[in-house]
Every structure is written in C-alpha cells, then in structure tokens.
Amino acid sequence: MILSLVVFVVIVALSIPAAMVFIPLAVVTGDVGPLYAVTCWIVNVGYRVAGIRIRVEGRENVPAGQACIFMANHLSNLDPPALIARIPGRTAAFAKRSVFKLPVFGYCLKLGEFIPVDRTGSVTGAQASVATAQRLLAKGLHITTFVEGMRSKDGRLLPFKKGPFYLAMQTGAPCIPVSIYGTETMMAKGSFGIRPGTAHIVFHEPIIPANFANRDDLMRAVREAIASGLPEWMRA
C-alpha cells in the first residue's frame, strides 16, 4: 500500500499544474490533443514510479491513418491507462457513467470525448453509446473497448459483450484485438495495492468486419486472436 500511496502522490502532484494549464487551453482552443498527450505522459511516469515495465508487441499491426476499434481483455484497473497511452494517435473509450461525475477527472473524460456507458442494461443507453462511438469513428478517432465488459477475477478470459461487435459491423472499422497479461499480479480486481512487475500488451493484426457474415462470427475471430496472445491458462 505504501507504493500505491507514493504513486498516487506523484500523479496528483503532476496532474494539478497540468490541469491548470491544459484544461483551459483545451477549452479555449477546442484542441484536446495537448491535454491528451500530457495525461499519457503522467500515466507513464506513474508506471515508472510503481516499478511497472510495459512491453509492447505488434504495434506495427495498427494501420496508419485509419480509425480502428481496439478490443482488449481486462484484468486490472492498470489496463486502461497502460493501453490507451500506447495506442498510436488518439482514442476515445467506453467508461462507466458514474466516473464522469468525478471532479476534474470526469470533466477531462468529457473533453477527451470518452463515451459514458450505463451498467443498467438499458437498450436506449446502449444505442446512445454506440451512436456516439460511430460519430467519433467518423471523425477519425479510435475507439477502445474491453470486450468482456468487466475485469476477470481470476485472469481467465470471460464471455464477450456483443455491443462492440454490433458497432464494428455497423461501421466496418478494422478491429484490432489486444492481449493484455501480467497486470493481474500487479493490481488484482478488488485490490488497491500495486506491485512492481512487467505488463504485456500485444496488438494483433486487424480483423475486417466485412469479411464475416455476422457479429457472432466476428466475435469468435476476435476472441481467438486475443486468446492466442495470452498464457495458456488464461484462455478458458
């Protein structure tokens, strides 16, 4: 817990002056790019302070100049910032609606055009989230989603949610499967403690939705790709 506290203090110490400069700049100019870049830099500093090394494979598989949907497995709260900071270009992501109510952080998510998601199972809410994601893809932003919909308790791959695959079939955007492992030992679900270690992020080759008859076939292909980059015991 001491390491977690140190990381928290470092991130807060860097975030306060950054927020004072880059949030007003984003509001005045309408350009969230500098705020996005400095946030990724702060995240990377936090990981270094925590003693977490991140090894990335396959980033060359991400097509240049094309908006993609990144689909990853989910093991830990360490996953989203680690992955988002290493996606080429800028990405929006789905996030729980409650997070948007947090002071400053929630406002930054709104500026970054992150997409609020209701966990109530509302069809109307899901349709609204997909419509927002479609609009952002059309603008050229990537979309990042953790396709299990929640963190795995034991590291094994969970069933996938269908929403991201509906989005992919509707837009035709290339799907980039992403395998993440290692974070399950550094900050497990239900724990606030951080442990040093090595996190692995593997970007797989694009999967094109138009090559599949339906979203179930697309989902199976993405699942196979993600599983192929995980240790054998996680592939359940």
Q: How many folded domains does the chain comprise?
A: 1
Give me the pLDDT at residue 62, please.
Answer: 97
For residue 3, being part of any structural domain is answered with: no
Residue 169 structural domain: 52-234
Residues facing 115 on adjacent strands: 94
pLDDT, one tens digit per residue, over 68-124 is 999 999 999 999 999 999 999 999 999 888 899 999 999 999 999 999 987 766 677
Share of the chain above pLDDT 70, in %: 98
Contact 91, 166 (CB under 8 A): no
- What is the rounded average pLDDT of the residues 57-70? 96
For residue 199, which phi and psi values (nearest 5 degrees)?
-100, 140
Torsion angle of the four alpha carbons 13, 18, 23, 28, in this order, in degrees rounded to the nearest 10: 150
Two tokens, residue 55: 């090894």
Q: Look at the alpha carbons of 197, 3, 153, 209 in this order and tell me if their dihedral is positive or negative.
A: negative
Helix (H, G, I), strand (E, B), or coil: what is residue 170? Answer: helix
For residue 146, being part of any structural domain is answered with: yes
Supply the CATH number for residue 134's domain.
3.40.1130.10
Give me the pLDDT at residue 192, please.
Answer: 79
For residue 26, being part of any structural domain is answered with: no
pTM score: 0.94
For residue 63, being part of any structural domain is answered with: yes
Q: How high does pLDDT run on average in the chain?
A: 93
For residue 217, being part of any structural domain is answered with: yes
Give me the pLDDT at residue 144, please.
Answer: 97
Contact 179, 202 (CB under 8 A): yes
